[in-house]
Structure 1
Amino acid sequence: MTEQRTDYDSPWKEVIEAYFPQFLEFFFSSAYTVIDWTRPYEFLDTELQQLEPDAEIGKLLVDKVAKVWLLDGAEAWVLVHVEVQGRYDTEFAKRMYTYNYRLFDRHQQRVISLAVLADERPNWRPSSYGYELGGCRVSLEFPAAKILDYEAQWESLEQNTNPFAVVVMAHLKTKATQQNPESRLQWKVSLVRSLYERGYSRDDVLQLFRFIDWIMVLPEALARGFKEVVKSYEEADRMRYVTSIERLAIEEGIEQGIEQGIEQGIVQASRNYIIQFLQIRFGEVPSSIVDVINGINDSGILRSLFTRAIVMNSLAEFQQVLDEVVPGE
């Protein structure tokens, strides 16, 4: 699994738009407290394209511009840069400055420039740009939030109900598991489970599930298993979220209508998921285990077995669980 497969751009843009006040509250409380949130704000998606018609100042992965109203009644602009490329960029601070003055020049409105540094270099922390020449001095200082700093605050993130606590956790674990798909699966399952435990609304669960599912890319076999785990959670909680459950079912070619024989297809798919997952984790799976799995016809038991397989450390441990679930085999 390579990082090229992970799309950070679109998920970050979408989640910032969905939770813009919470985004500022989480990362930039000083900016959050000067904005009048009782008045509507507006995203201006074409602004940055108009500011760089010749592409001379490059392209960030995530740029957002929002028009807001301040508590003093004045209009202002919030310019957000999320740098997630993971590469040292000597031009980043200059680009922040360039966008800032171009927005001010174009609209004659004050501009709040903010940066989220979601890269993997702990010592790269641009926060200002300026120069002095012949007695003339120009400069820009901008707040910059470093995602890596939140690794040391993991327990606080677990207790924080702001949606961006989950976003940060998912981003950190996506970066940390680039070469370990099994660990990524475990963290992905854990983060999705936490959505049900944080007291979020249905819409929030769907939005954050979408972000997690989008960036935490898994190999095909593990992705199928993840879908089975999500199904078991939602069924246990008597929830049926169309954008997750039904979408996952459609992806597998499973249409509604169990009475027409679909249940048997789910059972067979579940058997295959478990066997493939065990092969990915532990290599060759003994025929004795394969035979027992293929002999199980209860889809609920199969989903439970897959969930248990995620946390097993060896085939021997899984065999013990299998003996408990299917005694006498």
Structure 2
Amino acid sequence: MKTPNANFDQPWKEAIEDYLEQFLEFFFPQVQALVDWSRGYESLDKELQQISPGAESGEREGDKLFKVWQKNGEAAYLLIHVEIQSQRDNLFEERMYVYHYRSFDIHKRVISLAILGDDQPNWRPAGYGYELAGCSLEFKFPQVKLLDYESQWSSLENSSNPFALLVMAHLKTQATRGNAQDREGWKWTLVQLLYERDYTEEEVIRFFRVLDWMMTLPSVLQESFDSKLRQYQEERNMPILSNIERRALETGRQEGLQEGRQEGLQEGRQEGLQEGLQEGRQEGLLEATRVAIAEVLRARFGPVPTTGLERVNQIRDESQLRRLLQGAALVESWGSFEELLEELG
């Protein structure tokens, strides 16, 4: 049975944004140790768009830029690149440098980090430089190769860090291209490991969504998986997202992305295709989240007041919409969701 195309960039991006400290602790502990986590961190998506070289230079959906505070009180900026592809990219080092110097131009203290999720063992870019007539440049950046964790599988299984599960999901999604049955088996194994970890209910929900999003299955196998998961949840009285809620999220995502593509094409005809597509994709993601919020609320609480949905539809901040989507799956009543809306202003 043929497997659907895997979604790597967005699950990585979402997991890093939600769990930046655990991400750094797992992959780059020397960076994690520099940060004063009591002050939190700030995702700078708009600023990242300003420094991105553009699609013609290989812009990646998985890239993230964060503002953090060092333990000495000074601000610092983390520029994280998630490179997911199946072949060598000879422009990657240069692109890393371009992102870095453009970010440095604005923010100064910048740390560039790379996660290499490709399937080429010998491709390990770690720097960029040149020399010309006595003028030279050398730029180095820390990088992690996900393939290296294949030999550390038992350590991944025993790790309490949620990114161990994400690495396993990434590797097995990659390894099961063209083999949907095997992917379904590994997806089930990893979901059971997720339940066995000492995570909060919210953490289980978030990481289940990431695993489910990455390890896509044909509809027949997905239905079988949903049925098995529902029984597993009932036996342990440990619900995450019900089948209908999961389907609502997927429906909302697809509807929003389709609308985004249409808006992007229309805008592209008027002001330039590339710019329109970029805006359309962003609006599509926002609309996908709004639709998913409404569907999850209806699935859990029945008819939803129109005024409440209108307030959701007016929100254009991606982080606020993501918080509302998580809240829709977690709150006990519509009244609790309204309180969350009030909290967000």
Tell me the TM-score normalized by structure 1.
Answer: 0.73
TM superposition shift of 1:159: 0.5
Distance 1:54 1:215 in 2: 25
| Count of residues in correspondence between the two structures | 254
Distance change in 2, residues 1:54/1:189 (3 Å): closer
* Residue identity opposite 1:36 in structure 2: D
What is the DSSP-based 3-state SS (H/G/I as helix, E as strand, rest coil) of the residue aligned with 1:34? coil
85-94 vs 166-175, which deviates more? Answer: 85-94
Name 2:73's counterpart in structure 1: 73
In the alignment, structure 2 segments of 5+ residues that lack a partner are 252-297, 300-345
Q: Which residue pairs with 2:130 in the alignment?
A: 131
Superposition deviation, residue 124 in structure 1: 0.4
CA–CA distance in 2 between the matches of 1:96 and 1:35? 22
From 238, 245, 253, give the equivalent of 1:247.
Answer: 245
The structural deviation recorded for 1:86 is 2.1
Aligned-partner SS, 1:234: helix
Distance 1:154 1:196, change over 3 A: same
Q: Which residue of 2 aligns with 1:144?
A: 143
In the TM superposition, residue 52 of structure 1 has moved relative to its aligned partner by 3.5
Unaligned runs of 5+ in 1: 257-329
Question: In 2, Cα distance between the equivalents of 1:174 and 1:13?
Answer: 17
* Residue matched to 2:196: 197
Cα distance in 1 for residues equivalent to 2:200 and 2:106: 40
| 1:118 corresponding residue in structure 2 | 117
Q: Is the 8 A contact 2:184 2:225 kept in 1?
A: yes
1:193 deviates by 0.8
- Describe the SS at the equivalent of 2:93: helix
CA 1:226–1:202 in structure 2 vs 1: closer, same or farther (change >3 Å)? same
Question: What CA distance in whole angstroms lies between the structure 2 residues aligned with 1:162 and 1:187?
Answer: 19
Q: More deviation in 230-239 or 149-158?
A: 230-239
1:141/1:53 CA distance change after superposition, 3 Å = closer
Deviations 1:198-229 (A, max 9, x none): 12111111111111111111111111000011
Structure 1 residue 40 displacement after superposition: 2.0
Partner secondary structure for residue 168 of structure 2: helix
Q: 1:8 — aligned with what?
A: 8
Change (3 A) 1:4 1:114: farther
2:59 partner amino acid:
K
Query: Is the alpha carbon distance of 1:249 and 1:146 closer, same or farther for their aligned partners in structure 2, counting shifts above 3 Å?
Result: closer
Asked if residue 165 in structure 1 is aligned to residue 164 in structure 2, the reply is: yes
Q: Which moved more, 1:125-134 or 1:44-53?
A: 44-53
Counterpart code for 1:196: Y
1:46 aligns to what SS in structure 2?
helix
Is it true that 1:32 corresponds to 2:14 in the alignment? no
SS, match of residue 193 in structure 1 = helix
Q: Deviations over 1:37-91 (max 9, x none)?
A: 1112101001222113665532123110001111121111100000012221000
Q: Return the offset for 1:20.
A: 0.6
Determine if contact 2:83/2:115 at 8 Å carries over to the other structure: yes
Match of 1:93 in 2: 93
Task: Supply the distance in 2 between the matched residues of 1:102 and 1:159 (Cα, whole angstroms).
Answer: 40
Structure 2 CA distance for partners of 1:246 and 1:199, relative to 1, 3 Å: farther
Q: Structure 1 CA distance, aligned partners of 2:216 and 2:142?
A: 30
Q: CA deviation at 1:135?
A: 1.6
C-alpha change, 1:249 and 1:32, in structure 2 (3 Å) is closer
8 Å contact kept, 1:82–1:118: yes
Paired amino acid for 2:81: H
Partners in 2 of 1:21 and 1:76 — Cα distance?
14
Displacement of 1:248? 4.6
Using structure 2 for the length normalisation, give the TM-score. 0.69
More helix by share: 2
Letter in 1 for 2:115: V
Cα contact 1:227–1:248 (8 A) shared by 2:
no
Q: Following the alignment from structure 2 to structure 1, what is the Cα–Cα distance between the partners of residues 76 and 231? A: 47
Moved more, 170-179 or 193-202: 193-202
Contact 2:3–2:180, Cα closer than 8 Å, also in 1: no
Tell me if 1:43 matches 2:43: yes
RMSD: 2.3
Which SS does the other structure have where 1:138 is aligned? strand
Cα shift at 1:36: 1.1
Partner amino acid, structure 1, of 2:245: R
Secondary structure of the structure 2 residue equivalent to 1:89 = coil
2:89 maps to a residue whose letter is D
Residues 21 and 32, structure 2, Cα contact 8 Å, conserved in 1:
yes
Whole-Å separation in 2 of the counterparts to 1:74 and 1:214: 37
2:164 corresponds to which letter in structure 1?
Answer: A
In the TM superposition, what whole-angstrom CA distance separates every residue of 1:281-318 from its partner, at most 9, and x where no partner exists? xxxxxxxxxxxxxxxxxxxxxxxxxxxxxxxxxxxxxx
Q: Distance in 2 between matches of 1:84 and 1:61?
A: 10
Distance in 2, matches of 1:56 and 1:182, equals: 37
Corresponding residue for residue 83 of structure 1 = 83
